[in-house]
Amino acid sequence: MDTTTRAAKIPSFHQTEINWDNLDKTKLYVVGAGMFSGVTVALYPVSVVKTRMQVASGDALRRNALATFKNILKVDGVPGLYRGFPTVIIGAVPTRIIFLTALETTKAASLKLAEPFKLSEPVQAAFANGLAGLSASTCSQAIFVPIDVISQKLMVQGYSGHARYKGGIDVARKVIKADGIRGLYRGFGLSVMTYAPSSAVWWASYGSSQRIIWSALGHWQNKEEAPSQMKIVGVQASGGVIAGAVTSFVTTPIDTIKTRLQVMDNENKPKAGQVVKRLIAEEGWKGLYRGLGPRFFSSSAWGTSMIVCYEYLKRLCAKVEEV
């Protein structure tokens, strides 16, 4: 009698959590690169709208997300919604490999570290996922920040007085000429302060909310009963939406400051404190939350799409093991 089967086929609730050791890494990276690139194509325009709103000045300050979207289409057409996209997609593959590796290895180690403390499932999940998200984001910033600087300059070129460029290479060349390599890491500290806590909050919120939902559905009491694939996707998607809402509210102010710093011309280099003072003077405290709507939508849509794809990818790449 054949005793082997895929881990994802095991009739147990534990198929919703597939550990790093049980994954085919090569398949995960190859299939994942294509899958996440597709999600990036679909959601990239939201990032462009958010960035335009965050650096807006003059009459553009009065535009909401929909008005900003329409203005981009009117002035630049559909290509305007994908400014800086080639740069982002090229950098996305190595960034994702680093991120996912750090995420899963840290999560596995954190779960073992938390075992002796006998924490509740939601708290244990929040701790392990949060620490994993923090570690993964911090490790991937070395590649992500230069890509972010270049893509954001391309997103806002010719808008509200910002310079125009011939492409990503032109941006990199001019930034390095003006500021050296460190110019590509402008806002690095704020990026770490934005994305690392953001990643920690997102993954902690996702891990804990998912377990709370499963508990409400009664699956923590009977872990040998396998939920349907539709129920698994539904719970994971709900967890993604909740995580997106919490994360966007907590981190939008820092993201707004970081974006303004990164897109400013080389001759105008205010400190973060000066940017905050200017924002508050011009718009009050609500200025720190410019682009909150698009950021919430982007965080929720990207996070939900990403987590559903990623969890499916993990089930798809689960190794064959003894039952």
Residue 198: which pLDDT band, with cuts at 50, 70 and 90?
confident
> What pLDDT sits at residue 45?
92
pLDDT higher than 90, residue 53:
no
Q: Which residue has the higher pLDDT, 128 or 57?
A: 128
> What pLDDT sits at residue 267?
60
pLDDT higher than 90, residue 105:
yes
DSSP at 10: S
Q: Does 11 map to a domain?
A: no
CA-based torsion, 97, 175, 55, 45: positive or negative: negative
> What pLDDT sits at residue 132?
95
- CA 91 – CA 147 distance, rounded (Å): 6
For the chain, what's the residue count? 323
- Considering the chain, what percentage of its residues have pLDDT values greater than 90? 19
What secondary structure does DSSP assign to 214-255, as a single string?
HHHTTTTT-TTSPPPHHHHHHHHHHHHHHHHHHHHHHHHHHH
Q: Does 277 map to a domain?
A: yes
Residue 15: which pLDDT band, with cuts at 50, 70 and 90?
low
Q: Does 182 map to a domain?
A: yes
Q: How many other CB atoms are there within 10 angstroms of residue 237's CB atom?
A: 17
CATH number for the domain harbouring residue 204: 1.50.40.10
- CA 253 – CA 245 distance, rounded (Å): 14
Q: Does 12 map to a domain?
A: no
Residue 9: which pLDDT band, with cuts at 50, 70 and 90?
very low
Instruction: Please tell me the least confidently modeled range out of 14-23, 207-216, 218-227, 246-255.
Output: 218-227
What tens digit of pLDDT does each residue of 240-263 get? 999 988 888 888 888 888 878 877
> Strand, coil or helix: what is 91?
helix
Q: Does 211 map to a domain?
A: yes
What tens digit of pLDDT does each residue of 58-81 get? 777 778 889 999 999 999 999 999
Q: Does 15 map to a domain?
A: no
pLDDT higher than 60, residue 321:
no
> What pLDDT sits at residue 200?
94
Q: Which domain holds residue 73?
A: 25-217+225-317
What tens digit of pLDDT does each residue of 130-189 get? 999 999 999 998 888 898 888 888 888 877 667 888 888 899 999 999 889 988 888 788
| Domain total in the chain | 1
Q: Does 14 map to a domain?
A: no
Q: Does 323 map to a domain?
A: no
